[in-house]
Amino acid sequence: MNYSHLFKQSIENPESFWREQADQLEWFKNPATILSQNEYNYPQWFADGELNACYLAIDKHIKDGYGDSEAIIYDSPVTQTVKKYTFNDVKTEVAKLAGGLLSLGLKKGDTAVVYMPMIPQALFAMLACARIGVTHSVVFGGFAPNELAVRIDDCKPKVIITASSGIEVSRLIAYKPLVDEAIELAIHKPDKVILFNRKLGAKIPAKHYDIDYGTLIYESEEAECIPVASTHPLYILYTSGTTGKPKGIVRDTGGYVTALKFSMTSIYNMKPGEVFWAASDVGWVVGHSYITYGPLFNRNTTVVFEGKPVRTPNASTFWRVIEEHKVSVLFVAPTAIRAIKQDDPEGEFIKQYDLSAFRTLFLAGERCDIATINWFKQHVPIPALDHFWQTETGWAMAAPMIGIEELPVVLGSVGKPVCGYNLQILNEEGQELGPNQEGYVVTKLPLPPGTLLDLWNDHERFVSGYLSQYNGYFFTGDGGYKDENGNIFITGRVDDVINVAGHRLSTADMEENISSHPAVAECAVVGIQDELKGQIPLALVIRKKNADIEHFQLEYELVQLIRDRIGAVTSFKRVIEVDRLPKTRSGKILRKLIRTIADGKEFQIPSTIEDATVVDELLGLFEQKK
C-alpha cells in the first residue's frame, strides 16, 4: 500500500474512505449516512448507525472464538503483582458491574465519574459504562479534590467509581477521603460512590453514599450491551485550556471506534493477538484511546502498568515488562525515556533483557528532543517514532503511518499528516504558509472520525476556542511548520497551556489560585524548560505592599496551595518575586517574553510593550538565579 495514495483518497473523498473503514466493524445498525452536520452545522460521522463500544472491545472477540485470549495484563511493581485477564474474565467483571450500575438506577444518557489509580478496575468501570450507554468521565487520580469537584459540577455524575487508594512509588495515597472532600466541595451531589477496596491499609471513612464494588458485582446480574447511536457520547474527558475552567471534550462512539481500529493497524502496525503497552494513565487521553479502547477494539492485549519508569524499583522496569509480556509496541511520553536515560545512561539494564518481541517505540505528549531519541536508538536498535496528537483529536494528527508504508523518518519531525487530517500551517491572517515557514497548526474541516464532537455544556467555548480563529479550520493551539516533503514539525503551544512530564496543565488555573493568597498582588505563571519533565511551571509574583511574610515562607505556602488545590502533578516548586511584570499597553502580561528570557533564548521585544525597561530587570533577575 502507498501512503500518498491513501492519504489523498482520505482528503478528496472522505465519505468513501471512512465508509470502507466503518464497514469493518460489527454495527448493530449499519450507518447509511457517513458524513452529515449536527444541529450546530458541525460535521458528524455515521449519524444513523448504532453500535456498542464495549461489545466491540470484548464480546465480539468472545463470539469470534477468542474468549480465552489475554485481554488485559495488570503489572504493578508497586504492589509486586502481575495478573492476567482473558476476554472472558473481562466480560464477566464488566457485565456484572454494568448490571450493578443498572440496579443503582443508571440508564443510557446518564454520566459517571471514574477516579481511579492504574488498576484493571478502572478499565472495567469505563467498559461497564459503555456497555449500558452511560457516558463516563475519568478524572486523573493526581488531581486534587478541588479539581475533581469542578468536574463533578460540570458533568453531574449519578455515581463516582473509585478505589480506596493508589500508590505513588512507595507512598500510599488514600483516594476515598479525596473523593469525599470533592463531594463536599461540589454543588452537585452524586447518588452513590462505588468503592473498590484494595485492602492496602488506607483509611476509608464510611459515608451514607458508599457502595462496595465487590458486593455490588457479587450481587448483580450480568447486563447485555445496549445499542447506542454513533453520535452518543462515549465519554467526556476534561483537559486544560487557557482559563482556569477545564474543557470537557465530548467523544462520540461510532467515529471513535472506527478511527481507533484504523489507527491500530495503519499507525501502530499491530496485528490482533499482539501485546500493546501505552505507559500512561487512564486519566489522560492516551489512557482512553490506547490503554483501554484502541488495543481492545483490535483484539490486542493491553498492559495496565502501575508504576513509574524509574524508582519502581529502578530503571530496568520497562525492559522487564517488555520481556515478560512480549510487548510489541510501547507508547510513552519522551519524559519517561529521559528519566530512564538519566538513571541508566549507559543502558546497562537494557542489556540484561530479551527485547526480541519489541518492534517499535512511539512517542507523544510533548516535544521530543533528538538526544533522547538517539540515546534510545543507540541502546535499543528499533524505530523510535514521534507522533503528534491531543486530547481534542483522540488519536494522532501526524505520524509515520508504518502500517501503510515505511517512509524515511526525519529526526525532529512528527511524521506526515495522518489519513483524514488535512493539516495546514497558517499565518496570523489565515493564509496557508509554504515549506519551512512557521505558523499555526490547523486542520481543515471536517475533522476525521474519532475527534471531538463538542465541549460538554459549552458549545460557545468550542466555537471560540477552536473554530472561530480561522473559518473552516480547527485550530490545535500549537505552532509548527512543514518541510518541503510534507513532514510536520511542532514548535510548541502558542497559548498558555503547558506540558509537564507529558501532563497538560493550565497556567491560568495556577495563576488564579496563586492570586488568591493574601500576600499576592499579581502573578504570572509560565512553563520554563526542564531537562527531565520538558517544562515546569515558574511563578513570577508581585507581593502586596503591606504583606509581611518572608520570601521562603511565601514560596512554601504557594507551593502547598497549588498541591492542595490542583495536585502535586503540577510539579510547581519555584516562585520568583518581582516588582513588575512585562505587559502590553492594553495590560496583557507578555508571558511568552518571560518564558523566552527565563529559558535564556533569543527574544524580540514586542512593539506592543508598555515599558521596555522591565526587560532589563528580568534579564538581570534570571542571570542572578542561574
| 293, three cell numbers | 479502547
Q: Is 365 in the site for ligand AMP (CB under 6 A)?
A: yes
Q: Rule CB under 6 A: choose which of 89, 147, 252, 366 binds ligand AMP.
A: 366
How far apart, in whole angstroms, are the C-alpha atoms of residue 320 and residue 173?
Answer: 26
Closest to 205 (Cα-Cα) out of 154, 162, 155: 162
Q: Is 499 in the site for ligand AMP (CB under 6 A)?
A: yes
Q: Is 367 in the site for ligand AMP (CB under 6 A)?
A: yes
Stretch that binds ligand AMP, among 58-66, 140-148, 383-391, 549-557 (CB under 6 A): 383-391
Please say which residue, 239 or 424, places its beta carbon nearer to ligand AMP: 239
Q: Rule CB under 6 A: choose which of 476, 535, 570, 571 binds ligand AMP.
A: 476
Closest to 76 (Cα-Cα) out of 287, 245, 307, 260: 307
How far apart, in whole angstroms, are the C-alpha atoms of residue 387 and residue 382?
Answer: 16
Please check whether residue 160 is in contact with residue 111, taking contact to mean a CB–CB distance below 8 angstroms: no
- Smallest distance, ligand AMP to C-beta of residue 497, A: 7
Binding partner at 246 among ligand COA, ligand AMP, none, C-beta below 5 to 8 Å by kind: none
Binding partner at 507 among ligand AMP, ligand COA, none, C-beta below 5 to 8 Å by kind: none
| Helices 3-12 and 14-22, packing angle to 10 deg | 110
Please say which residue, 328 or 335, places its beta carbon nearer to ligand COA: 335
Please check whether residue 521 is in contact with residue 477, taking contact to mean a CB–CB distance below 8 angstroms: no
How far apart, in whole angstroms, are the C-alpha atoms of residue 39 and residue 16?
Answer: 23
DSSP string, 452-503: EEEETT-HHHHIIIIISSSTTEEEEEEEEEE-TT--EEEEEESSSEEEETTE
Q: Is 399 in the site for ligand AMP (CB under 6 A)?
A: no
Please check whether residue 395 is in contact with residue 260, taking contact to mean a CB–CB distance below 8 angstroms: yes
Binding partner at 339 among ligand AMP, ligand COA, none, C-beta below 5 to 8 Å by kind: ligand COA
Please say which residue, 266 or 570, places its beta carbon nearer to ligand COA: 570
Q: Is 504 in the site for ligand AMP (CB under 6 A)?
A: yes
How far apart, in whole angstroms, are the C-alpha atoms of residue 174 and residue 191?
Answer: 21
CA torsion through residues 325, 379, 341, 480, sign: negative
Q: Is 507 in the site for ligand AMP (CB under 6 A)?
A: no
Which runs of consecutive H residues, i.e. helices, occur in 204-344? 213-219, 254-266, 285-286, 294-297, 317-325, 334-343
Please list the residues that pair with 76 across neighbouring strands.
81
- Smallest distance, ligand COA to C-beta of residue 569, A: 4
Q: Rule CB under 6 A: choose which of 131, 341, 416, 493 binds ligand AMP.
A: 493
- Smallest distance, ligand COA to C-beta of residue 281, A: 6
Please say which residue, 406 or 531, places its beta carbon nearer to ligand COA: 531
Q: Is 301 in the site for ligand AMP (CB under 6 A)?
A: no
Question: What does DSSP say about strands 520-530 and 534-543: parallel, antiparallel, or unpaired?
Answer: antiparallel
Please say which residue, 169 or 547, places its beta carbon nearer to ligand COA: 169
- Smallest distance, ligand AMP to C-beta of residue 253, A: 20
Using H for helix, E for strand and C for coil, what is the string for 341-380?
HHHCCCCHHHHCCCCCCCCEEEECCCCCCHHHHHHHHHHC
Closest to 330 (Cα-Cα) out of 283, 402, 277, 405: 277
Q: Rule CB under 6 A: choose which of 477, 527, 537, 567 binds ligand AMP.
A: 477
- Smallest distance, ligand COA to C-beta of residue 192, A: 23
Cα-to-chain-centroid distance, residue 537: 19
DSSP string, 568-605: GGG---EEEE-S---BBTTS-B-HHHHHHHHTT-----
Q: Rule CB under 6 A: choose which of 285, 296, 575, 589 binds ligand AMP.
A: 285
Q: Rule CB under 6 A: choose which of 149, 226, 282, 364 binds ligand AMP.
A: 364
Please say which residue, 239 or 317, places its beta carbon nearer to ligand AMP: 239
Closest to 285 (Cα-Cα) out of 336, 237, 235: 237
- Smallest distance, ligand COA to C-beta of residue 532, A: 6
How far apart, in whole angstroms, are the C-alpha atoms of residue 626 and residue 90?
Answer: 53
- Smallest distance, ligand COA to C-beta of residue 503, A: 6
**Binding stretches for ligand COA (CB under 6 A):** 141-142, 166, 168, 173, 280-281, 284, 286, 308-310, 333, 335-336, 339, 365, 501-503, 532, 568-569, 571
Q: Rule CB under 6 A: choose which of 146, 312, 390, 535 binds ligand AMP.
A: 390
Q: Is 505 in the site for ligand AMP (CB under 6 A)?
A: no
Binding partner at 386 among ligand COA, ligand AMP, none, C-beta below 5 to 8 Å by kind: ligand AMP
Binding partner at 334 among ligand AMP, ligand COA, none, C-beta below 5 to 8 Å by kind: none
Please check whether residue 598 is in contact with residue 536, taking contact to mean a CB–CB distance below 8 angstroms: no
Binding partner at 499 among ligand COA, ligand AMP, none, C-beta below 5 to 8 Å by kind: ligand AMP
Please say which residue, 226 or 278, places its beta carbon nearer to ligand AMP: 278
- Smallest distance, ligand COA to C-beta of residue 221, A: 33
Residues 99-138 that bind ligand AMP (CB under 6 A): none
Closest to 200 (Cα-Cα) out of 174, 169, 168: 174
Q: Rule CB under 6 A: choose which of 478, 496, 509, 511 binds ligand AMP.
A: 478
Please say which residue, 87 or 331, places its beta carbon nearer to ligand COA: 331
Question: Which residues, 6+ apart, have CB-to-CB distance to 29 below 8 Å?
Answer: 48, 49, 50, 51, 227
Q: Is 386 in the site for ligand AMP (CB under 6 A)?
A: yes
Q: Rule CB under 6 A: choose which of 317, 360, 391, 570 binds ligand AMP.
A: 391
Please say which residue, 277 or 389, places its beta carbon nearer to ligand AMP: 389
Binding partner at 336 among ligand AMP, ligand COA, none, C-beta below 5 to 8 Å by kind: ligand COA
Phi, psi for 428 (deg, rounded to 5): -50, -35
Please check whether residue 293 is in contact with residue 57, taking contact to mean a CB–CB distance below 8 angstroms: yes
- Rounded to 5, what percent of the chain is helix, strand, coil? 35, 25, 40
Using H for helix, E for strand and C for coil, what is the string for 299-326?
CCEEEEECCCCCCCCCCCHHHHHHHHHC
Please say which residue, 86 or 535, places its beta carbon nearer to ligand COA: 535
Q: Which helix (H) or strand (E) holds 408?
A: none
- Smallest distance, ligand AMP to C-beta of residue 333, A: 8
Chain positions contacting ligand AMP, by CB under 6 A: 239, 284-285, 364-367, 386-391, 414, 476-478, 490, 493, 499, 504
